[in-house]
Amino acid sequence: MKLLDRSKSTDFAAALAAAGYRVAAPVSDGGLVRIKEWAPGAEIAASEMPLNSMKDFLFPRTEVIGRWTLEGDGFASQDVRPDAPKTAVLFAKPCDAAALAVLDAVFNWDCKDCFYNAKRDAAAVAVLACGSADEHCFCTSVGGSPGEAHGADLLFRPADGGLRMIVEPLTAKGKALADAAGSALSEGQAQADPIARPAERFDPGKASAWLASNFESPLWKELSLPCLGCGACAYACPACHCFDIQDEGSRSESVRCRNWDSCGFGLFTLHAGGHNPRADQSARWRQRMMHKFSYFPQRFGRLACTGCGRCARLCQAGMDIARACARISPRENA
Ligand code: SF4
Ligand code: SF4
């Protein structure tokens, strides 16, 4: 079997960079861990849960999707092509790879989004089976598992007490990663480490059923009371995908940008005439829950939450989407 010594994680990244990949990996950054473009000298924190998700590399926070320049008496549109370098995402979490199915569904629904799909096609995703679940993780409550690699091209399995990783290419893209790694990988035998599963905290089917018939429940006020509407949960979420379109520029040139947005923001649904159908934070947070556990499953047959726990980990107000789900859909044996 193919093996990667943990101490050679940066050699793996360097080999892929030398082979022409833009390499994204969890990197220590001022005391925090983020998925960033790897550069020589950067310390890879393979097992850590990064603050952000790999979504940043497929659906950037801001992206130019149109450009116009003044020519004579009119404007001429410029050809804007997706910026989609060949990319290797290393040591992603299983819950982040699982979120790719959410993004794939929404960006290929009513039209095929060329900007997303170009990046997606150019990306190979290598997942490290997760042995570092904390109290916020709940992948097992939403159909996931820390040892699975749905959506990934290559799976690393921790082995020999964490000293090594077993390298399992799952697709042609994953095989290309393993081939490009060259001498960073070795051949040998190793014993896969057991992977602990986080406890199941709620029943997603029951949550969806409760949501479908409780739009006006008084519980929404209580559940959402601490929410500040900062949007941090949506920006960190691997599955959130709302965006806004803004035109920016001068009289001689302008660009059309796609920027992340969040249903948690007060301006998200504000109409030009001043009316806001989601006038308070309770209505906005209800939308977040409804979208992930009711509307999205109805339309696409899957939840729009993979249980990564980032939203609860980051929320300065103590909001916890799994706790809310457990409140409306406790497991029988909980
Ligand atoms: S739930 Fe927390 S992170 Fe999300 S918008 Fe509200 S305060 Fe911000
Ligand atoms: S809603 Fe929260 S737990 Fe679910 S995928 Fe998004 S950030 Fe992770």
Summarize pLDDT for 278-319 with one digit per residue, the tens: 999 999 999 999 999 999 999 999 999 999 999 999 999 999
Q: Which ligand is nearest to the CA of 236?
A: 2
Beta carbon of 264 within 6 Å of any ligand 2 atom = no
Q: Are residues 286 and 229 in the same domain?
A: yes
Domain membership flag for residue 136: yes
Q: Are residues 178 and 245 in the same domain?
A: no
Domain membership flag for residue 63: no
Q: Are residues 49 and 190 in the same domain?
A: yes
Beta carbon of 229 within 6 Å of any ligand 2 atom = no
Q: How far is the CA of 323 from the centre of ligand 2 (A)?
A: 12
Q: Are residues 129 and 172 in the same domain?
A: yes
Q: Are residues 175 and 238 in the same domain?
A: no
Cβ burial of 30 (10 Å; 0-12, 13-18, 19+) is exposed
Q: Are residues 244 and 255 in the same domain?
A: yes
Q: How far is the CA of 136 from the centre of ligand 2 (A)?
A: 10
Q: Are residues 217 and 112 in the same domain?
A: no
Q: How confident is the model at residue 74 (pLDDT cuts 50, 70, 90)?
A: confident
As for how many domains the chain has, the answer is 2
Choose the final residue of a domain: 172, 199, 226: 199
Across 51-204, the runs of DSSP E, i.e. the strands, are: 62-71, 74-78, 87-92, 123-128, 154-159, 164-169, 186-187
Question: CA end-to-end span of the chain, whole Å?
Answer: 40
Domain membership flag for residue 331: yes
Choose the final residue of a domain: 199, 217, 235: 199
Domain of residue 4 covers 1-58+70-199
Beta carbon of 305 within 6 Å of any ligand 2 atom = yes
Q: How many angstroms separate the CA atoms of 58 and 258, rounded?
A: 13
Q: How many angstroms separate the CA atoms of 298 and 307, rounded?
A: 19
Q: How far is the CA of 167 from the centre of ligand 1 (A)?
A: 37
What's residue 278's pLDDT?
A: 95
Q: Are residues 80 and 96 in the same domain?
A: yes
Q: How many angstroms separate the CA atoms of 33 and 252, rounded?
A: 41
Q: How confident is the model at residue 251 (pLDDT cuts 50, 70, 90)?
A: confident
Q: Are residues 229 and 184 in the same domain?
A: no
pLDDT digits (tens, 9 = 90+) for 223-247: 999 999 999 999 999 999 999 999 9
Q: Are residues 177 and 236 in the same domain?
A: no
Q: Are residues 77 and 94 in the same domain?
A: yes
CB 80 within 8 A of CB 277: no
Q: How many angstroms separate the CA atoms of 202 and 140, rounded?
A: 9
Q: Are residues 250 and 207 in the same domain?
A: yes
Q: How far is the CA of 227 from the centre of ligand 2 (A)?
A: 15
Helix 9-18 and helix 172-181: axis angle, to 10°?
Answer: 100
